Chains A and B, each alone.
Chain A
Amino acid sequence: MGLGRASLRVALATVLLGASLLAAACGSAADEPEVRGTSGGERDVTLTVAAATSLAGALEEIGEGFRATRPGVEVTFTFDSSSAVARQIREGAPVDVFASADEISMTNLVDDGLIAGDPAIFARNELVIVTRPGNPTDIDSLADLSDAGVIALCGQDAPCGRYAAVALDGAGVVLDESKVTRGQNVRATLAAVVHGDAVAGIVYVTDALGAEDAVAAVAIPPDLNVVATYSIALAEDAGDARTAEAFVAYVRGDEAQAVLAAHGFLPPT
């Protein structure tokens, strides 16, 4: 009978119920602000860390370590390209700590008065070419990318996209945009090579390491490579500044630095 009147009525009722539940949920969420106080010692503190996608693996591990040193502290992460995360923070996302893969995204937030104190550089990274396992199309250099097929790069404003543009520019390689698929962050760019049909991509060394056998890595010589500097800072309106500060200090400390090194990051200096 298809969409009869009775079923339409049921559908309408369902939609209305959904809307009212949603309204109720929003209402209660607004009524009960997140518990961030320091009254009960350090219990029930939730730290929200927004970071560059390339940091995902390392920061999650670091988060585990931080939690272990501070019972009752919960650390949640949100990852996207640094430029996307910066935009979210500008839109008022409740973030306590921001870790950026480039200085531009961080500086923009500093200029907007959304960062407390000075950002600290805590890691560096380099670019690498990734291809299918076994490098079937014989890509040996940035120059080989120009006639290889569809290449995966990050969006022009994501740090990995900006760095890749600098490296390609330095090598004098011009890629036809109709042969470039742009990932919204470095994970998506890597995925276009791992799962999709992109012939090659430019990502960070750490992403290639993390992908293990799913890709083959082709090194970019140091004179053409670009060094990405990662900085971390407290958001201006961090909920629990003390815990946020402690997290930033922990990321710069020996334990976290060892984790970063294990993921392939270079030390900050």
Chain B
Amino acid sequence: MSRSGRRPPIPVVVVAALTVLFFSLPLVGILQRADWSTVWSDLTTDQAVDAIRLSMICSVSAAALSVVFGTPLAWVLARTAVPGRPLIRGLVLLPMVLPPVIGGVALLAAFSLRSPIGSWLHDAFGIQLTFSTAGAVVAATFVAMPFYVLTVEGALRGVDQRYEEVAASLGADRLTVFRRVTLPLIAPSVAAGAVLAWARALGEFGATITFAGNVEGRTRTLPLAVYLELESDEQAAIALSLVLLVVSLVVLVSLRDRWLVRR
């Protein structure tokens, strides 16, 4: 918006300010409800530590899986003319708009012990995704990876392909071009996409509770613990919520503008 020094129209600024208020009031509300004298003890109970540890494992794993599996997919979507590309993209982005609980039901249909794949995984490898941390990671990855793919695909489309052509003309093979030219060019978007995916995975609730269940120490991540604690110990629930809020906010704020808004 630096094209001219024009002052922004007042109504836009007013509405924008209201919107900021809309987003900040709930935060203020929860801060104001917290009982600061018990926050630390609420966060150091075994259950809380378990939930925090589990949330970190699940969200970091989901972000890592998104990078590993999402980058090639984003490249294919951005650079190739695979048949049915809109359909593929639609499929991949579906979890962004699907209610997570429906994602959980779909995951159950695909991977529960009663599904063909789920029973095969169990019989052949002894893997059971339901009620396991692996299942919670799968659920988190399912809802988080689209954010990564979308970000990186956009970045790939914005890359000036002449750099790649020059590298190729100088004798680099296609994988080398991807590794040495393309990836460094989109590195900021890879980082931004991974952080977005991580943040989404950290907040994941519906798909996890539906697919992986709510098992202490295995699938009871922070959001599930908050939901369960809300009825028994509101202060503990608020303390856990604060962790989610603070961690997410710090990470999102540190995502500098230039990572999200390409010039």
Is A15 interfacial (CB-CB < 8 Å)? yes
Contact B128 A197 (CB under 8 A): yes
Separation of A2 and B130 alpha carbons in the complex (Å): 36
Contact A197 B19 (CB under 8 A): no
- Which residue of chain A lies nearest to B154 when distances are taken between CB atoms in the complex? A2
Q: Which B residues lie within 8 Å of A87 (CB)?
A: 230-231, 234
A199 to chain B, nearest CB (A): 10
B210-263 residues with Cβ-Cβ distance < 8 A to A are: 210-211, 213-220, 227-228, 230-232, 234, 260-262
Is B142 interfacial (CB-CB < 8 Å)? no
Contact A197 B131 (CB under 8 A): yes
Contact A16 B261 (CB under 8 A): no
Separation of A184 and B118 alpha carbons in the complex (Å): 25
Contact A197 B130 (CB under 8 A): yes
Is B31 interfacial (CB-CB < 8 Å)? no
User: Quick check: which of B10-18, B35-43, B80-88, B173-181 contacts chain A, the rest being far away?
Assistant: B10-18
Q: Which B residues lie within 8 Å of A180 (CB)?
A: 215-216
- Total contacting residues, chain B, CB less than 8 A: 41
Is A76 interfacial (CB-CB < 8 Å)? no
Separation of A14 and B213 alpha carbons in the complex (Å): 36
Chain A 166-210, CB-CB to B under 8 Å as 1, else 0, gives: 000000000001111111100010001001111000000000000
Is B157 interfacial (CB-CB < 8 Å)? yes
Contact B131 A181 (CB under 8 A): yes
User: Quick check: which of B91-99, B105-113, B195-203 contacts chain A, the rest being far away?
Assistant: B105-113
B101 to chain A, nearest CB (A): 10
Q: Which A residues lie within 8 Å of B232 (CB)?
A: 83, 155-157
- Which residue of chain A lies nearest to B128 when distances are taken between CB atoms in the complex? A197
Main secondary structure of the interface of A (DSSP, over half): mixed
Contact A178 B217 (CB under 8 A): yes
Is A150 interfacial (CB-CB < 8 Å)? yes
Is A3 interfacial (CB-CB < 8 Å)? yes
Contact A16 B214 (CB under 8 A): no
Contact B262 A16 (CB under 8 A): no
Separation of A195 and B112 alpha carbons in the complex (Å): 9
Is B79 interfacial (CB-CB < 8 Å)? no
Is B22 interfacial (CB-CB < 8 Å)? yes
Contact B15 A20 (CB under 8 A): yes
Contact A2 B158 (CB under 8 A): yes
Contact B231 A2 (CB under 8 A): no
Contact B230 A198 (CB under 8 A): no
A79 to chain B, nearest CB (A): 15
Contact B230 A16 (CB under 8 A): no
Is B53 interfacial (CB-CB < 8 Å)? no
Is A158 interfacial (CB-CB < 8 Å)? yes
Contact B214 A183 (CB under 8 A): yes
Contact B261 A197 (CB under 8 A): no
Separation of A179 and B131 alpha carbons in the complex (Å): 8
- B18, B114, B215, B262: the one contacting A150 at CB < 8 Å is B215
Is B153 interfacial (CB-CB < 8 Å)? yes
- A1, A15, A22, A181: the one contacting B215 at CB < 8 Å is A181
Q: Hey, which bits of chain B sit against chain A, CB under 8 A?
A: 1, 12, 15-16, 18-19, 22, 105, 108, 112-114, 118, 128, 130-131, 153-155, 157-158, 209-211, 213-220, 227-228, 230-232, 234, 260-262
Would you list 8 pairs from A and B whose C-beta atoms are within 8 A, ordered by A residue?
Answer: A3-B260, A83-B232, A150-B131, A157-B231, A179-B215, A182-B216, A182-B220, A195-B112
Q: What 5 pairs across the A-B complex have the smallest Cβ distances? A: A2-B154, A181-B213, A197-B130, A157-B232, A157-B231
